[in-house]
Amino acid sequence: MSAAVIDGKEFAARVRARVAAHVARLKADHDLTPGLAVVLVGEDPASQVYVRSKGKQTVEVGMNSYEHKLADDISEAELLGVIDRLNHDPQVHGILVQLPLPAHLDSDLVINAIDPAKDVDGFHISNVGLLGTGQKSMVPCTPLGCLMMLREHHGDLSGMHAVVVGRSNIVGKPMAQLLLGDSCTVTIAHSRTKDLPAMCRSADILVAAVGRAEMIPGDWIKPGATVIDVGINRVEREGRTKLVGDVHFDSAAAVAGAITPVPGGVGPMTIACLLANTVTAACRATGLAEPEGLTA
Ligand code: NDP
């Protein structure tokens, strides 16, 4: 292996420490404790694990955590009522609705009911538009975490060719916008892209956000490139369930200059960025200085 391994777990711990330090200052100097409300509808086991983890980390950095666990047959009107109350609650600076929602609820309608200033997931259409036009916005957590790791590793990203494989609204598209904002030349690839291997080989920065286990092998990677693997895929190996990314780690690490592992790469950064977004939202809501380096 020649690639440097970008340790997302360690980086996420540093981000959390910076968030905690800023929260401590807000409390001491302004009597302000940022609060994050997480809304969980139904009992999806994976969502329950994520929500528990978010709540625990929120409290660990000194913020208030409010969990709203709602029945899976809640009506859209009732759910919108909960969001409206949170929008008007001055103790709540960030609101996150855990996705996916049950099929009878319109996710777009629900997300767009959140006050954009409290939309710490960055999925509200206003935040999407602000990001797309290069204005100050709440930035989706996973791509924000990827950008922070790239900036930390490279410093200046300008002029680099970034290829983002995947065009989802939660990862691929905002990732491309952020890279463009940092003056990369950006290509977005997807399932209809012709000659994906050649496209990937042209990347100085390759971001894989596909959801297909180990789809990208080492010989699709330009020597020395930086590889950010967003994928989280569960596979059965030797009778055990294992997590792997969208990139074949061993062959890619032999060629790349730097690579994020799965697990321990992008994953831990996502919740760290959620906490960062919450403290940013609290500062913006109260007109106080935002923490530096914790947003795009
Ligand atoms: P989506 O399923 O919404 O999007 C996947 C994208 O990959 C689509 O744009 C699709 O193209 C593209 N794609 C699928 N197959 C191919 C292929 N053979 N060649 C090229 N492109 C392909 O996934 P998400 O963006 O939500 O998530 C992507 C991965 O990231 C998943 O593994 C997910 O678990 C993980 N993830 C990890 C997070 C973290 O915290 N680390 C957070 C969020 C997601 P098309 O549009 O043409 O169909």
Class (C level, CATH) for 29-122: alpha beta
Locus of tokens 């380096």: 293
CA of 1 to the centre of ligand 1 (A): 26
Residues facing 241 on adjacent strands: 236
pTM: 0.97
In angstroms, rounded to a whole number, what is the distance separating the alpha carbons of residues 96 and 155?
31
Residue among 64, 59, 132, 66 at smallest CA distance from 96: 66
Q: Give the CATH architecture of domain 141-268.
A: 3-Layer(aba) Sandwich (3.40)
In angstroms, rounded to a whole number, what is the distance separating the alpha carbons of residues 157 and 159?
6
- Among 230, 235, 266, which residue has the most ligand 1 atoms within 8 Å of its CB, making it the best to mutate? 230
CA of 168 to the centre of ligand 1 (A): 6
Looking at the annotation, which residues are catalytic?
Answer: 54, 98, 121
CA of 289 to the centre of ligand 1 (A): 35
Domain-by-domain residue ranges, the chain?
A: 29-122, 141-268
Please give the mean pLDDT across all residues of the chain: 97
- pLDDT tens for each residue of 76-102: 999 999 999 999 999 999 999 999 999
> What per-residue confidence (pLDDT) applies to 122?
98
CA of 62 to the centre of ligand 1 (A): 33
- pLDDT tens for each residue of 16-57: 999 999 999 999 999 999 999 999 999 999 999 999 999 999
> What per-residue confidence (pLDDT) applies to 84?
98
- pLDDT class of 152 with cuts at 50, 70, 90: very high
Of all protein residues, the one whose alpha carbon is nearest to atom 3 of ligand 1 is 168
48 CB near ligand 1 (under 6 Å) = no
Residues facing 20 on adjacent strands: none
| Fold match, 29-122 / 141-268 | yes
167 CB near ligand 1 (under 6 Å) = yes
Q: Is the pLDDT of residue 180 over 90?
A: yes
Q: Provide mean pLDDT across the span 260-282.
A: 98
- pLDDT class of 111 with cuts at 50, 70, 90: very high
> What per-residue confidence (pLDDT) applies to 40?
98
Q: Is the pLDDT of residue 1 over 80?
A: no
